Amino acid sequence: MLEFNLKKKQARRELYYRKNNFIAELGIELINKKTDLILRKPNSSILFDERLKVKNSSSNDFIINNIDLIYEKEKKVDALICNFDLQLLLANNAQNLYKNIHKILSKNGFFCFNLLTLNSFTTLQKIFLEIDDHVFNGAQLRFGPFHNIPNIISGLNDNKFKEVVVSTENIEVNYKSLTKIRKDFKELGISNYYKEKSRTNKNFYTKTTSLFKELVAKHDYIPVEIEISTFTSWK
């Protein structure tokens, strides 16, 4: 079973949700569009970002930045909404997380969240697979985790969430520089969160630089695909 480095994720949370992070901003926009459609007015909500909003919500909204804080609440809430906060946690212990969220939601409570899903970074993963195969004679874990949409839907259904709906937004960012990719990934908090550390050496960096220059010269850019999936469900 793959394990994930939770401390590394927590340390990078601030970078991952900076206001100039275009992935986070797009995620906020997608979620707010969903919450605008809610007909039932929630009396209380837990929001994981001050930019998240619930239309017609009361003033009993709680802004938190650490999911552990939800377990300290004694009263149930009508809605729990978060951007990409569950990305790693769902990969690490999905069943326990679903059960705890279901427990703190009131009857007919609303649950909405974003995830990066499997069609993210497909070109980059193919490129690094070629590099790793050449340098290390096998693949290395360099990105992720990215989630499988049917697995998330099944997990929600199995834990008594109903009316599960998912919508996806696919974007492509084109890069002409490996340095720019590294800079953006560092700022976005995108990294390998597996406990198994990816191997690198001088030959790896030489091959990476050479291959990226070759691909940019041939295609004019390197595409980075990002698939954001927004899930909504009710208790």
**98-132 pLDDT, tens digit each:** 999 999 999 999 999 999 999 998 999 899 888 88
pLDDT digits (tens, 9 = 90+) for 127-181: 988 888 888 888 877 777 889 999 999 999 999 999 999 999 999 989 888 888 8
Average pLDDT, the chain: 82
Name, in order, each residue with C-beta under 8 angstroms of 193's C-beta and a sequence gap of 6 or more. Answer: 4, 5, 8, 9, 88, 144, 145
Pairwise pLDDT comparison (186 vs 131), residue with the higher score: 131
Domains annotated for the chain, with CATH where assigned, are 6-234 (3.40.50.150)
Distances (CA, A) of 147 to 89, 111, 130, 150, 173: 11, 18, 23, 9, 20
Q: pLDDT at position 155, please?
A: 96
pLDDT band at 49 (very low <50, low <70, confident <90, very high): confident
Q: What sign does the CA torsion over 4, 101, 25, 61 have? A: negative
What is the spatial distance between Cα 221 and Cα 66, in angstroms, rounded to a whole number? 37
Choice between 99 and 189, residue whose per-residue pLDDT is larger = 99
Return the closest-CA partner of residue 112 out of 34, 171, 224, 182.
34
Cβ atoms of 116 and 227 within 8 Å: the answer is yes
pLDDT at position 75:
81
167: CB partners within 8 A, 6+ apart: 30, 34, 229, 230
pLDDT of residue 193: 53
Cis, bond preceding 223 (omega within 30 deg of 0): no
Is pLDDT above 70 for 10?
no
Average pLDDT over residues 41-58: 80
Give the bridge partners for 194, in sequence order.
4
* Residue 4 confidence (pLDDT): 40
Q: Which of 15-19, 43-47, 190-194 has the highest mean pLDDT?
A: 43-47
pLDDT digit string (tens) for 66-105? Answer: 777 777 766 889 999 998 888 888 888 899 999 999 999 9
Q: Name the band, by pLDDT with cuts 50, 70 and 90, for residue 59.
A: low
Q: What pLDDT, on the 0 to 100 scale, is given for residue 197?
A: 64
16 pLDDT higher than 60: no
pLDDT score at 12: 44
High-pLDDT (> 90) share of the chain, %: 32
